[in-house]
Chains A and B, each alone.
Chain A
């Protein structure tokens, strides 16, 4: 792909009116993460949800779903928030915001696979953050959830080119990022960064989106977050949380640049039992599938 075509695609992203608009509740939710969970103001959260009819309806539906096993019907946002609980509240709110971004029929990838991968990556990112002692595990979760948002941009804005890239990835069993580079000359990382700027997303998350495939290096202050999500992404792809096709990838974790960086910055990672960690991460695959099934109202696999 010539530079001219690539530049034309970038210009299209910058100028197009069809760029997904930021969900009104997403940025306030992302800013919530700047505070520790025990300082979140529950009244503000309830107000935030109440102002967004779609989000309010989703919360009520989820709180009344079999996932939470309540015998009585939940009818208020406050009760729904209590039912969902702290452990899941933020996760589900961001999911509701993001999953409505694009109608399923506009997705070129299987949306269930995409969100299972994103949720899996979010859960594993948080787990890794906790293991290494990274100070903002919930931020790592957000990074995991949003890291591939550029695929949505490519899917919505360049359906023909993205379809060709996806076909190449599927038939050659290579990574999507390689196929995008080959076919389009612009990866989902670059497209995602443009969206992140368009949405005025926090810089650390924007760098996760741009740098998680190591196409460009993150700035030192955000490198740890980027590497955590990069590693989680890799681990998802080898744990059945992929994009619905077989990627012929083999991962030697301890030789991966993200692992090497994290071991240097967080020496306690050296002591982690990799075999056990690998088994434990399997549990997240089923959890991610359960969340996505609940949100999309499909049967849990």
Chain B
């Protein structure tokens, strides 16, 4: 028996592993092409579950039918619903820990700041403030910075900004925070409720700025690190391009921009952003524009 015969025999016996569900592949590819959001195979149960919830809401019986609907030209709104389910960020400190490890062990030591300059970081679309305080906390723990850092936390929603500025969090939000950092940077103010210490807060500025709105964004310039996690996939292509452009413009040359692990900016090279791989994490680094760039 040669290999071809063996293949046929094995296939007939159904011995090869289960093939990828074509409908799920189609949903994944549609999502990626339209939003830059890519769901790796290991997360497909979550993708399938989210699709099923949307199918139920729409009264659609099969995943095949739903994937066809999603791929249709008028599916913008439905894509938004599905992405909302998939990227509905749980809010807690120390999310996506591999990115934070890369920041702590690779990016920050590589910054090599001049003695008189402080590290500047930006968190765009702050949610409840967890990402902004997490970033501040990591910078505060970086001995080489010796407290020379500032975090600008931006959001378009005044209510979210006010809540984040208060810096009060339920214990659940701190579940992934190492105990020694919890003890150092938080105070219990009520049962199961913690407040960020004033010493850490003084390193943050909360500002009203929009990456997606029609008004010109007021992002601080000269950033060394930017976190913009769980936002850009939910923007339409035009908004996304504009947002990525604004983020790139506010970044120092050789600065790093972190999106969430499933998001990609699509066309990053247009903004002089290069995909950088770290152990189990990625980010984008701004490279200097060519000399003849205008």
Q: Which residues of A contact B (CB under 8 A)?
A: 37-43, 68, 70, 81-83, 85-87, 173, 235, 237-240, 242, 246-255, 274-276, 278-280, 282-283, 286
- B10, A250: Cβ atoms closer than 8 Å: no
* Nearest CB in chain B to that of A283: its residue: B41
Task: Let me know if B6 is at the binding interface, CB within 8 A.
Answer: yes
Could you tell me if B38 and A42 are in contact, using CB atoms closer than 8 angstroms? no
Report chain A residues within 8 Å CB of B262: 279
**What are 15 A-B pairs with beta-carbon distances under 8 A?**
A38-B3, A42-B1, A82-B6, A83-B10, A85-B15, A173-B105, A240-B279, A249-B279, A252-B277, A253-B277, A254-B274, A275-B264, A279-B38, A283-B40, A286-B41
Is A274 in contact with B6, judged by CB distance below 8 angstroms?
no
Nearest to B1 among chain A residues (CB) is A42
Q: How many A-B residue pairs have CB under 8 A?
A: 99
CB-contact partner of A39 in B3, B15, B42, under 8 A? B3
Q: State the CA gap A235–B279 with chains docked (Å).
A: 9
Say whether B282 faces chain A, with CB atoms less than 8 Å apart.
Answer: yes
A238 touches B280 (CB 8 A): yes
B3 in complex: contacting residue of A37, A68, A276, A282, CB < 8 Å:
A37
Size class of the B contact interface (CB-based, 8 Å) = 35 or more
* Bound: A234/B107 CA distance, A: 18
Interface: B275 (CB within 8 A) = yes
Q: A246-B279, A252-B285 are in contact. List 8 more A-B contacts (CB 8 A).
A: A37-B3, A81-B6, A83-B10, A85-B16, A238-B278, A240-B280, A248-B279, A280-B40
Q: How far apart are the CA atoms of A173 and B107 in the complex, in Å? A: 14
Please tell me which one of the listed residues B3, B36, B110, B264 contacts residue A40 in the complex, with CB atoms under 8 A apart. Answer: B3
Q: Which residues of A contact B110 (CB under 8 A)?
A: 250
A86 in contact with B41 (CB, 8 Å): no
Residues in chain B within 8 A of chain A (CB atoms): 1-7, 9-10, 13, 15-16, 32, 36, 38, 40-42, 101-102, 105-107, 109-110, 262, 264, 274-280, 282, 285
Give the residues in chain B near A248, CB-CB below 8 Å: 105-106, 109, 279
**Residues of the A chain whose Cβ atoms lie less than 8 Å from the Cβ of B109:** 248
**Bound form: Cα–Cα A276–B29 in Å:** 10
Distance in angstroms from B206 CB to nearest chain A CB is 30
With A42-B1, A82-B13, A85-B16 as contacts: A250 and B6 at CB distance below 8 Å: no
For B7, the chain A residues whose CB sits under 8 A away are 85-86
Which listed residue, B1, B264, B277, touches A251 by the CB 8 Å rule?
B277
Q: Is the CB of A82 within 8 A of B9?
A: yes
Select the residue from A68, A278, A286 with max chain B CB neighbours within 10 A: A278
Q: Are A41 and B2 in contact (CB under 8 A)?
A: yes
- Does A86 contact B40, Cβ atoms closer than 8 Å? no
Contact B6 A86 (CB under 8 A): yes
Q: Which 10 A-B pairs have the closest CB atoms?
A: A238-B277, A275-B264, A251-B277, A42-B1, A279-B38, A240-B280, A85-B10, A282-B40, A40-B3, A283-B41
CA distance A29 to B49 in the complex (A): 44
Partner of A246, one of B4, B40, B101: B101
